[in-house]
Amino acid sequence: MINEKVDEIFEEYELEIMSSIDHLKDDLVAIRAGRANPNILNKISVDYYGSMTPLNQMANITVPEARLLVISLWDSSMIGEVKKAIMASDIGITPTDDGKVIRLAFPQLTEERRRDLTKQVRKIGEDYKVTLRNHRRDALDKVKALKKDNLITEDDVATCEKEVQKIIDKNIADIDAIVKKKESEILEV
């Protein structure tokens, strides 16, 4: 681009944005849409003989039906600990077991609950847009600091501002698309 320092600023800016969008996707995966999704268990860790172990590293998680998850533990003596961890995770589903496997039955979402979830999804999307705008502000502050140190010209600053805005516009559109997709998934009956 203009010089090495500006290139570093843009690389850092784009990495921060990509990281934010990845976090958005992770956060939205955890929102239950009425359909069984093993990713809802990604953030659950279990006390496995003194160390916190992610559930997906100590069990096989399958989806035999659209609204059912089956967790087959490799060490069936941990069923009680896993059930406690699922209850504490606040995913809103009560686990049942038969001594060998744990079942999570996803109830049909009510219309009111679907609307609440879509509002929650929109709010999460807006929060991430604010995060992107903060990244933009930080990048522009760094560019202006280069101008202050006479490392770039006023025209270079204007060019950088336009480039940063193009990047933010594209990524905000991506966030809107991700949020819209999740909303339609939630509203699907």
HEC readout, 25-74: HHHHHCCCCCCCCHHHHCCCEEEECCEEEEHHHCEEEEEEECCEEEEEEC
> Would you say the pTM of this structure is higher than 0.75?
no
pLDDT of residue 165: 93
* pLDDT on residue 42: 83
Class (C level, CATH) for 4-30+110-187? mainly alpha
Pick the CATH number of 38-105 from 3.40.5.90, 3.30.1360.40, 3.40.50.920, 1.10.10.10: 3.30.1360.40
Yes or no: say if 143 and 154 are a contact pair by the CB < 8 Å rule: no
Structure-block tokens of residue 100:
């060998």
The pLDDT value recorded for residue 103 is: 93
Burial readout 75-85 (b: 16 or more C-beta within 10 A, e: otherwise): eeebbebbbeb
Maximum Cα–Cα distance across the chain: 71
pLDDT in tens, the chain (189 residues): 567 888 898 999 999 999 999 999 988 887 766 677 888 888 889 988 888 999 888 999 999 988 899 999 998 888 999 999 998 887 778 899 988 899 998 888 788 888 888 999 999 999 999 999 999 999 999 999 998 988 888 898 899 999 999 999 999 999 999 999 999 888 876
Q: Which of 81, 77, 84 is nearest to 99 (CA)?
A: 77
Decide if 88 contacts 106 (C-beta within 8 A). Answer: no
Per-domain boundaries in the chain: 4-30+110-187, 38-105
